[in-house]
Structure 1
């Protein structure tokens, strides 16, 4: 008589249950990738703003007294030799921030239920995926322009705010 080979029905059910338990514990770890993607995108925006600011400042040092610098066909308004964050100043466009990916909110001291309060000398790049939602209050990259106090110039800065992405 030949000995039967293969799995019994009980063994098959046990294996399926074990695989189901493993899948249920692993799913939460991989399901939150959209938050990580938004945070990585905001970090890339920060890098683009910092490098654009450094390049424009370098051009301004070569051309002292210039009030605008043209970089890759984009006119960028200067304040104390650094790119201005003002609307129409060209900084967001020069950094490659497209309106299909980001909403650019220029400095406004008042917050709305879906937009953060910002310093007047700044702008925020808010991902379109969270724009006009409460998550936008704490999911953006903030660019603050250079400031002058007496003879001291504080260079611009970029900061990622990602607590509700």
Structure 2
């Protein structure tokens, strides 16, 4: 009688069980993509704010409105302080294209805060409480504005 080669049913079941265990332990690493996407989106918003601030500064310098700590409006209607967009909706909020439609934002004396548009309340306290936001702080006479990403709660 000729002996046939191949795998038994038990061997196949054992291999499937081992693959299942490996998949269960590896899946969380690959399924955590939403948090990474949120963090990347915040980095993109930071880049957009920094880029807009640089462009607005150039325009303010041309208009001669880059040397005052008092808010001034450019011909385009953007509010600037020291030539950079002010940390308000009339400043950086108006300078960044799409900010008002894609993000939730608010400002106070500590800066301009923006987060994802699915946030229900638009107060600085609520936005900063998410620990998933971008903060833009006004320029000073000696320093450009600062843009900070807080993504520990994403």
Q: What TM-score, normalized to structure 1?
A: 0.76
Verify: 1:57 aligned to 2:57, yes or no: yes
Shift in alpha-carbon separation, 1:69–1:2, aligned structure 2, 3 A: farther
Shift in alpha-carbon separation, 1:17–1:37, aligned structure 2, 3 A: same
For 1:59 and 1:12, the matched residues in 2 are separated by: 70
SS at match of 2:78: strand
Shift in alpha-carbon separation, 1:69–1:121, aligned structure 2, 3 A: farther
Verify: 1:69 aligned to 2:63, yes or no: no
Corresponding position of 1:155: 144
Choose between structure 1 and 2: higher strand proportion.
1
Corresponding position of 1:144: 137
Comparing 46-55 with 136-145, which one deviates more in the overlay?
Answer: 136-145
**Maintained 8 Å contact 2:113/2:128:** no
Displacement after TM superposition at 1:159 (Å): 0.2
SS at match of 1:44: helix
Residue ranges of structure 2 left out of the alignment (5+ in a row): 67-71
Give the superposed CA RMSD: 2.4
Q: What TM-score, normalized to structure 2?
A: 0.81
Choose between structure 1 and 2: higher helix proportion.
2
Residue ranges of structure 1 left out of the alignment (5+ in a row): 108-119
Number of residue pairs aligned between Structure 1 and Structure 2: 145
CA offsets, 1:30-53, max 9 Å, x none? 121111111111111111101110
**Maintained 8 Å contact 1:141/1:161:** yes
For 1:136 and 1:102, the matched residues in 2 are separated by: 16
For 1:141 and 1:46, the matched residues in 2 are separated by: 7
Displacement after TM superposition at 1:121 (Å): 4.9
Structure 2 residue corresponding to 1:84, chosen from 83, 86, 94: 86
SS at match of 1:153: coil
Q: Which runs of 4+ in 1 moved over 2 A?
A: 65-70, 96-101, 128-137
